[in-house]
Structure 1
Amino acid sequence: MRRFLLTCGLWAATALHAQTQTQTPTSKDPDPKSKETPEKLDKVEVNSRATDESRRRASTASKIIISRDDLLRFGDGNLTDLMRRLPGVTPGGRPGRGGEIRMRGMGGGFTQILVDGERMPPGFSLDQIPPDQVERIEILRAPTAETGARAVAGTINVILREPLARNLHEMRASVGGDHGAPQANLSWTRNDTLAGGLNTSLTVVGQSQRRPDLIDTRQQGPGSLLTTQQGHSEERRNSLNANGRLQWRLGEGEQLMLMPFWVVAQTRNSSQWAQTGLSRYDAVHSEGDGSFNSLRVAGNYQKRWSETTRFDGRLSGGQTRLTSHGQRFETLAGTPVRIQDDQSTNRDRVLNGTFKLTQQTATEHNWVSGLELERNQRDNARTTLENGQPKPGLSEFGDELRARTQRLALYTQDEWQATSQWNLHAGLRWEGIESRGDAGALVGEVRNRSSVWSPLVHALWKPNPQARDQLRMSLTRSYRGANLNDLIARPSINNQFPSGANTELTPDRAGNPALKPELATGLELGWEHYLSKGGMLSANVFARQIQGLIRSVISLESVPWDAAPRYVARPRNLGDARTAGLELELKARVDELWAVEALPLQLRANVSLFTSQVEGIPGPHNRIDAQPRFSANVGADYRMGAWSYGANWSLTPEILIQQTETLTSRTSRRSVVDAYVQWVQSRALTWRLGLSNLAPLDSLSQTVIESGAGPLVSTDRKPSFTTWNLRAEMRF
């Protein structure tokens, strides 16, 4: 608590000092030579931020906008690494290896991820979108009726590149290294303005990656070492991404846009490790390959019916196909004892329709009402063979799973500029989801239906319309529905103990068709102060009260796929939970904060403090899954002439979570230092060198289960590596 109060006090003092600095007159006789270069650079920097700053200030609901220049600054190879520097975002996984994107430290799907305003199709990951394809990222801390209420922690909206009003031809080529393994990337972007009011944009990105890794897993029982796994693995991935925009100006206030998006990827992986502690085998070798193909086409039609009425309709459809084939070879003293062969094909077909009507009135009201329709069809075919024969028990579930999800949403919202000081935003959204699936002859058809009403209210208050301060307030209701895999899932058998009795550390996994959505009531209070030269200070307090928290629970069950009772992990609705936090952000030039000569040094920092509690689980570590106590970023950028330099330090402390009454998880501290150097050789050529994870730390994940005989401990240690990337950016 003392650290919390001290942090708040220091931040408030900095803000007060910054306000004082903005009122301090500049010197009457500045040295023109000393300020010549900084003044020129300052003008460029402020102009690049003007649009994003105005969007953020004008939004009644809290919104953070990350520009394309900020996204590409460090030359990151994937969006997950890029997002760890964003305010309030704490990605999981190791640096350079991807992972789940979390806002406010809340894992398990509490964060809504959108691409061009639409939810990503099942099986799609943000890591499959190269940063070169992104125009900007919008972070919404609170849900709105229009963007959707499935955003307990918040929403991250990734906007892909848009057509420009001028011709532009860009090419980027990069090479890099990850633990001695080469990486390569080549991207091409073309913008054209054609006859007939047609603007086009096309971006194509090709990537080749190789990621070596180490395996080090240990399982310990009361006073003894049970098993160890030590070895190495490698993954190779080649991908091709393409997205385009075709925009037609059909007439005054009327336009049509087509947006195709395509991803194809091929992966190969292999691993080999020595196993101790088991009598069945002492070594494992596995080989696998897979392919991913996703195609989505969206069409957007906008028509201004009158000076005050606008219609917006959007239709999209797509298909995602994921195939994989893996073989696992177990040997004992060099003699083969077991071969497991897994083949699976997942296909998701999605259709979306969004229609909204916007009405502006003379009394400063902006009324938006809309309808959303979605249908998702999933076909899953999986075959598991053990020594050439079907896996006992699993055949009763069938080799194919067919499931579908249908969603209907209706909403209306009104944004009202009541006075020059007050903006009010009120909305109401109803959303219903129905999931059905055929889980095989043993289970039969599974059906789950849920619906949620979500009232949402936001307010923006400017104490003085001519000043640079504004306050935000939000009271919302959001929810998280169970995903299809949690509702309808063919059992996944643990490979270490494929038959007979297993342990609590090695459970099988299965779904739960009785899951209900988690409901959350949220409160946001925020303050923003904009400095005179483009900088900003902000503080935001949030709270969430969650009902029906979903968490995976391990229990001993009599299962149809084995004669012996097995430990099985299934998602279940537990009790209620609550979480709260404080988020602080600073972006400013040095001379905006202190009375110094103009210096082209940009400072940025964000600190987020979190607390949470899950009822029914003993404390003090009964927190929301994967939520740290805090996360922090500190960075600086320096620009002089044609050269730019920058660095960033990201820190997340050790995470200790009491998952259930008997299960505790621990994740090690994460500290990442990044740096970059940029040289603008000419208007047509820029060079950029990015260095990531300069002080690598091992990543340690530990699970402790309190059993009747004593604690069972599973420890997984993986190294992280320094990566580098050299990029040439060309414009024609």
Structure 2
Amino acid sequence: MRIPHSLPYLANIPRTVLALAALTCMSATAQIPPTPPAADAESKDAKPASQTTLDRVEVTGTASETEQRRASTASKIIIGKEDIERFGDSSVSEVLKRLPGVTTGGRPGRGGDVRMRGMGGGYTQLLVNGERMPPGFSLDNLPPDQVERIEVLRAPTAEYGARAVAGTINIVLKEALKKTLNEVKLGLGAEQDRLSPSASWTRNDKFGEHIAYTLTLSVNKSDSRDDNDTRTRWYDLPTGNQLLDQHETGYGTNHREGVHLNGRVQIGLGQGESLILMPFFVMSQSNSFTQSQLDQAAGGAIAQPYASYTSEGDGRFTMMRTNAQWQKNLGDGNRVELRYGVGGGTYESHSVRNELDTTGALNRTVADQSSTKENGWNLTGKLSQQLASEHSLVSGLELDSSKRRQSRTTLQNGLPILTDFGDDLNASSMRVATYIQDEWNASKQISAYAGLRWEGIETSSDSDAYDVRNRSSVLTPLLHATWRPDEKSRDQWRTSLTRSYKSATLSDLIARPSISQRFPTGANEVGSPDRAGNPNLAPELARGFELAYEHYLDKGGLLSANFFHRRISDLMRNVVALEDVSWSTDKRWVSRPQNVGNATAQGIELEAKFRLDEMWPTALPVSVRTNVSFFDSSVDQVPGPNNRLEGQPKGTANIGADYKFRGLPLSVGASVNYTPAYDLQLSDIQSNTMGAKVVTDAFLVWFINPKAQLRLSANNLAPRDYLNTSSILSGTQRQDNESDNPSHIRWGARLELKL
């Protein structure tokens, strides 16, 4: 395999980390016994296929999610298949909103970007099978039928990576054979008389004695409509007079189709040795249409840019990845793993916007077409050793590389714009990481974890007009500990001291601008600026502290409280300023990401899971799941009050319960997700108010027979409008925007058959 020229970057790895990793590898090499003769995968000393580690976090045997959580030294929450499928959600992001401290950015019932601790903008590390996905991939498009479990790590670990200021969510797709299974699920969703069918097929089986496989195929089609109501007003602050009043109403429809294929093939190569192949394929395409009417009060200081517009667009995303993982037990608790992955994705989009004047005549057309292709590979090596005094030592080296080619053409009234920046963009990134971690039991009551990770990223991009180079590296020490006051106690305390970081994305770094839709017929306003990147961004660094208490109940329940604190430096935030730009002879309002200073974030997460008869013996065995989180943050360089991290609410809460009837083949349940309204001061001139979100879900399962069941669901059962407002100052004037977005009930039915 040819190693890219960027690998001299390895020379920058701190010598202490490389030395520790090298010593570990040499120590293990000395312990490698002679290669044993080939043995059956089912032999006495071989690890059963169903128990082989398929992902970075090891799951042992058939331990319940609660038992795995209790045994982990680093704070980890595991959500199993039953909880994932309980409410018949249409997307993984809707499942995640019920987890402690997790919020989503969309309107009620619509999923959206996933945030831990309410921290958006890349603070949450999202992985699929332990890997980051390419641009264009969205959890909103991933059906829950593809998922085996969800792992939530509240603090970073050396093995998973430190790009997780808020935490890590790892989506683990269907695993290799646990039991022979041939299952079909047929679903139908309905919202506003629009139907969304889906189907999935899962097959678990064996080829002979040494090969086990899992194959899951999902197809889905969705049809939705969203109504929008936006009002914009300009005021003159000295006089209080209203300068402008615009009211825009309209709707948008979106049609989406998707195919997801996930497979795992596990091959037993001999005693304690296996090879795992993991293909993953995604294809989705969408078509959208938007129609909007703009009414402007007479006498406005700014000419009305249009009276109405229509916009049509389509997009297509395709991704294929294949991973191969080889692992071998070396004896005495030692194991070596190698993992290689290769894949690529393409994303193509096309849109046309037609703006009409008050007479219905066409006065502007903007057509935008883009194509993005990304290919990459990754190579990971990991060595696990079981040392004396119950020390479990793991060291590893990670390499990954990706290359992106993007072409874009923007036409206004048939003529190209932004020609100075070129239509083609080539970009590449190279990441190198090495780590070492030790987990041990200091006593029967104390377990500890110490890790050290170095990670370096080099990003480069070029077009006809400019080149961008950005290098960053971070050394992250990590400490976790668990203390049980009594070795037989059901109580335990956790604490963590960590360092994590957030790196700039390629779109944050490249300088190619995105022009405001109103350019040039309407004013380039401070509230609708152009957007551009900043190649000089530095990564954000965060020092973290966690303290948690957990009490485990007799029948599998749990009570916990978790406090977290983060101190962030070199905070990145989009800043709007009036600039001299190359794409216009006049100064333009431009929004660029900047390192603006420091910030602090903290909060507490409370969680309870139990059956009512655990608390009150005479009660019905109703399963209750509830959590409440409180968040707070402040940005030092932004005046208060409400100078919080962007997008962070003051908290979130969930309460849910389900019950299986005695003597009846029925199970029912419901949950309520609540995120309160909050105010946000983004800068000395920008502020937002986000409305409250309340999402009520319910389900009923009819167990027809041992091989068939029918699941009925209602998501967003009590729909309410989602109201957002923003305000921005420009000299002696203020612009206020108010957006009112209604939501709707989504009904669902799914027939689940075991063939």
| Length-normalised TM-score, structure 2 | 0.89
Say whether the 8 Å CA contact 2:612–2:623 is kept in structure 1.
yes
Return the letter of the residue paired with 1:267. Answer: S
Q: Aligned partners of 2:198 and 2:629: how far apart in 1?
A: 34
Return the letter of the residue paired with 1:384. Answer: T
1:310 equivalent to 2:335? Answer yes
Corresponding residue number in structure 2 for 1:283: 308
1:106 equivalent to 2:106? Answer no
Say whether the 8 Å CA contact 2:108–2:722 is kept in structure 1.
no
Q: Aligned partners of 2:283 and 2:547: how far apart in 1?
A: 43
SS, match of residue 114 in structure 2: coil
**Cα shift at 1:489:** 4.4
Change in CA separation of 1:500 and 1:559 when aligned onto 2, cut-off 3 Å: farther
1:544 equivalent to 2:569? Answer no
SS, match of residue 420 in structure 2: helix
Mapping for residues 395-414 of structure 1, pairs under 5 Å:
395-414=419-438
1:380 equivalent to 2:386? Answer no
CA deviations 1:180-202 (Å, max 9, x no partner) are 21111100000111114100111
Change in CA separation of 1:553 and 1:171 when aligned onto 2, cut-off 3 Å: same
Corresponding residue number in structure 2 for 1:625: 646
**Cα shift at 1:569:** 0.5
More moved, 642-651 vs 494-503:
494-503
Corresponding residue number in structure 2 for 1:340: 366
Say whether the 8 Å CA contact 1:417–1:423 is kept in structure 2.
yes
**Cα shift at 1:60:** 0.2
CA deviations 1:498-519 (Å, max 9, x no partner) are 3674111110111000100000
Mapping for residues 1-16 of structure 1, pairs under 5 Å:
none
**Cα shift at 1:440:** 3.2
Corresponding residue number in structure 1 for 2:618: 597
SS, match of residue 485 in structure 2: coil
**Cα shift at 1:280:** 4.2
Say whether the 8 Å CA contact 1:323–1:345 is kept in structure 2.
yes
Mapping for residues 227-376 of structure 1, pairs under 5 Å:
227-277=246-296, 278-332=303-357, 333-376=359-402
Return the letter of the residue paired with 1:208. Answer: K
**Cα shift at 1:635:** 1.0
Mapping for residues 646-661 of structure 1, pairs under 5 Å:
646-661=669-684
Corresponding residue number in structure 2 for 1:482: 504
In angstroms, what is the RMSD of aligned CA positions?
Answer: 1.3
Mapping for residues 507-656 of structure 1, pairs under 5 Å:
507-594=529-616, 596-597=617-618, 599-640=620-661, 641-656=664-679
| Length-normalised TM-score, structure 1 | 0.91
Corresponding residue number in structure 1 for 2:459: 435
Say whether the 8 Å CA contact 2:304–2:522 is kept in structure 1.
no
**Cα shift at 1:64:** 0.4
1:462 equivalent to 2:487? Answer no
How many residue pairs align between the two structures? 680
SS, match of residue 363 in structure 1: helix
**Cα shift at 1:366:** 0.3
Q: Aligned partners of 2:612 and 2:244: how far apart in 1?
A: 55
Say whether the 8 Å CA contact 1:500–1:566 is kept in structure 2.
no
Change in CA separation of 1:440 and 1:716 when aligned onto 2, cut-off 3 Å: farther
**Cα shift at 1:445:** 1.0
Return the letter of the residue paired with 1:631. Answer: T
More moved, 87-96 vs 548-557:
87-96
Return the letter of the residue paired with 1:483. Answer: T
Q: Aligned partners of 2:555 and 2:724: how far apart in 1?
A: 44
Corresponding residue number in structure 1 for 2:64: 51
Q: Which of 447, 453, 478 is equivalent to 1:423?
A: 447
SS, match of residue 575 in structure 1: strand
Q: Aligned partners of 1:651 and 1:489: how far apart in 2?
A: 39
**Cα shift at 1:128:** 2.0
Q: Which of 705, 728, 736 is equivalent to 1:713?
A: 736
Corresponding residue number in structure 2 for 1:674: 697
**Cα shift at 1:694:** 1.2
Corresponding residue number in structure 2 for 1:175: 188
Q: Aligned partners of 2:305 and 2:116: how far apart in 1?
A: 43
Return the letter of the residue paired with 2:486. Answer: N
Return the letter of the residue paired with 2:341. Answer: S
Corresponding residue number in structure 2 for 1:685: 708
Say whether the 8 Å CA contact 1:439–1:488 is kept in structure 2.
no
Say whether the 8 Å CA contact 2:483–2:492 is kept in structure 1.
yes
CA deviations 1:126-166 (Å, max 9, x no partner) are 11211000000010000010010000000001000012243
Return the letter of the residue paired with 1:446. Answer: V
Change in CA separation of 1:312 and 1:544 when aligned onto 2, cut-off 3 Å: same
CA deviations 1:212-258 (Å, max 9, x no partner) are 11122221100244322211110100111110000101111101101
Say whether the 8 Å CA contact 1:121–1:350 is kept in structure 2.
no
Say whether the 8 Å CA contact 1:63–1:138 is kept in structure 2.
yes
SS, match of residue 66 in structure 2: helix
Aligned sequence identity (%):
48
More moved, 62-71 vs 191-200:
191-200
Q: Aligned partners of 1:246 and 1:290: how far apart in 2?
A: 32
**Cα shift at 1:50:** 4.6
Corresponding residue number in structure 2 for 1:39: none
Corresponding residue number in structure 2 for 1:126: 139
1:724 equivalent to 2:743? Answer no
SS, match of residue 53 in structure 1: helix
Corresponding residue number in structure 2 for 1:25: none
SS, match of residue 189 in structure 1: strand
SS, match of residue 86 in structure 1: coil
